[in-house]
Amino acid sequence: MIARLRGSLAGRLSVALALMAVLAAALSTAASRWFDSGLLGLAAALAACLPAVLWLAVRAARPWRQTLGAVSGGIESLRDRDFSVSIAAPVPLELRELVEAYNGLGALLRRERFDLYQRELLLDTVLQTTPVALVLSSDAGRIVFGNLAARQLLRAGRRLEGLEVRALLAGQPSELCMAIAAGSDTLFTLGAGPESEVYRFSRREFLLNARPHQLWLLERLTRELAAQEIAVWKKVIRVIAHELNNSVAPISSLVHSGKLLAQQSDPARQGPQLERIFATIGERTSHLAAFIDGYARFAKLPRPRPAPLSWEPFLMPLAASLGFRIEGPLPLHETNADAGQLEQVIINLVKNARESGSPSEQITLAVHGQADGVRIEVADRGTGLTEQALRDALLPFFSTKSSGSGLGLTLCREIIEAHGGRLMIANRPGGGAVVSVHLP
């Protein structure tokens, strides 16, 4: 208790005041005898003690001034995000507690800053090394962040930060601009022929620093689609082998039974039984032929034979027979396309729209003339596409319907790309889906 009192400011001041009181009393007694007056003696004693009192006051306040100055400088460093400043512990206990509290706060901030730096480093490493192109833009239409994949895809490796979104999109392919303008998750293709790449575009909106921002995600699906196509083809081979075995084995057994009947000498028994055998063989053969034909039509798609096509006489009979609504005016100029194959594309797209649960009156077809061709849009108000369906929609034999063959959209894509065009699938705001076809 005595040591704590001695180390505290109050204890040191108490000792100093007690010594000054004793000294003042001694001087006052001596001065009273000298001047023969108590009042003059007291005044002389106080005048003699005043320099000592001032010296002691300055000496007692020095640790406070030094420590408070150091704490003030340390707080300025904290304001400047410099958490490395520490203060040596002073002698007075009250100041020591203050300094220890400041040093503890600095150490806590240093640890939190180090943890935050490690997390930011990890997040930046993940964002920069991910193959998904990420672009973050502000509500003012300016790009805030773009990772390495986005730089390589959109600007040949150059930085994106600080650019206006409009300036960035000005030099991009029309398919990408259409996907971004769609406002929802979209599947589209860039390039032509063997060099074509399939991408999925997603957009997310959120608040950052109390301001709205948009995050674009562009994921290249070409490799995944190629790997899944291989898996699908293996599955198709197994299905075909299974179906062939299911048909060939009974046919072989029936042929053997027919041979045995042919060896019998009773024509009355041969006729009805051979008729049943041949009927069963014919039924299995027809089933097998229809099964193989479904796959052969996809594999043997002929090259298109483009010819001038007028939109109004081409679409009006289809709208009447299929029950869709033509939206907006049709282009007056002709387009070079294979009318038969393009008709097959529209039939498949309208059929998919109807099977999505959309009312017939809400299935629309629009044709928009563009500088580099035309864009056909088939839209519906059905259930739309799930994330998996949007990713796998163009895979051969992928279908969300239990009785579907999974060849419709794949066949449409083959026909459109054979024309040098592109096919894009997206969900519509408010429900439903839209398939956009661009023909050069």
Write out the DSSP string of 69-111. HHHHHHHHHHHTT---------SSHHHHHHHHHHHHHHHHHHH
- 3 confidence band (pLDDT: 50, 70, 90): very low
Are 216 and 255 part of one and the same domain? no
Q: What is the mean pLDDT of the chain?
A: 75
Residue 182: give its domain's CATH number. 3.30.450.20
- The mean per-residue pLDDT over the stretch 307-324 comes to 86
Residue 189 within a domain:
yes
Counting residues of the chain whose pLDDT is more than 90, the rounded percentage is 0
Residues with Cβ within 8 Å of 119's Cβ and at least 6 positions away in sequence, in order, are none
Residue 127: per-residue pLDDT: 82
Are 415 and 312 part of one and the same domain? yes
Host domain of residue 233: 225-299
Are 231 and 183 part of one and the same domain? no
Q: With beta carbons less than 8 A apart as the criterion, state whether 277 and 254 touch.
A: yes
Euclidean distance between CA atoms 422 and 407, whole angstroms: 17
- The mean per-residue pLDDT over the stretch 383-402 comes to 66
Provide the 3-class DSSP secondary structure of residue 300: coil
Are 273 and 160 part of one and the same domain? no
Are 166 and 81 part of one and the same domain? no
- The mean per-residue pLDDT over the stretch 155-161 comes to 85
Are 294 and 311 part of one and the same domain? no
Are 199 and 231 part of one and the same domain? no
The pTM score is 0.47
Per-residue pLDDT for 5 more than 50?
A: no
Are 241 and 349 part of one and the same domain? no
Residue 1: per-residue pLDDT: 47
Q: Which two tokens stand for residue 418?
A: 């054979």
Counting residues of the chain whose pLDDT is more than 70, the rounded percentage is 62
- The mean per-residue pLDDT over the stretch 326-335 comes to 86
Write out the DSSP string of 363-411. -EEEEEEETTEEEEEEE--S----HHHHHHTTSTT--SSTT--S-HHHH
For residues 323 and 236, the model is more confident at 323
Euclidean distance between CA atoms 235 and 114, whole angstroms: 52
Euclidean distance between CA atoms 243 and 34, whole angstroms: 135
Are 216 and 229 part of one and the same domain? no
Residue 123 within a domain:
no
Residue 217: per-residue pLDDT: 87
Residue 431 within a domain:
yes
pLDDT tens figures, 76-110: 877 777 777 777 776 566 677 777 887 888 888 88
Are 183 and 282 part of one and the same domain? no
Orientation of helix 38-79 relative to helix 93-129, angle to 10°: 10
Per-residue pLDDT for 191 more than 80?
A: no
- The mean per-residue pLDDT over the stretch 289-299 comes to 63
Last residue of some domain: 299, 316, 335? 299
Euclidean distance between CA atoms 131 and 120, whole angstroms: 19
Last residue of some domain: 234, 264, 299? 299
Are 164 and 274 part of one and the same domain? no
- The mean per-residue pLDDT over the stretch 202-214 comes to 84
Residue 37 within a domain:
yes
pLDDT tens figures, 239-260: 666 666 666 666 666 676 666 6
Domain count, the chain: 4
Residue 2: per-residue pLDDT: 47
Q: With beta carbons less than 8 A apart as the criterion, state whether 250 and 284 touch.
A: yes
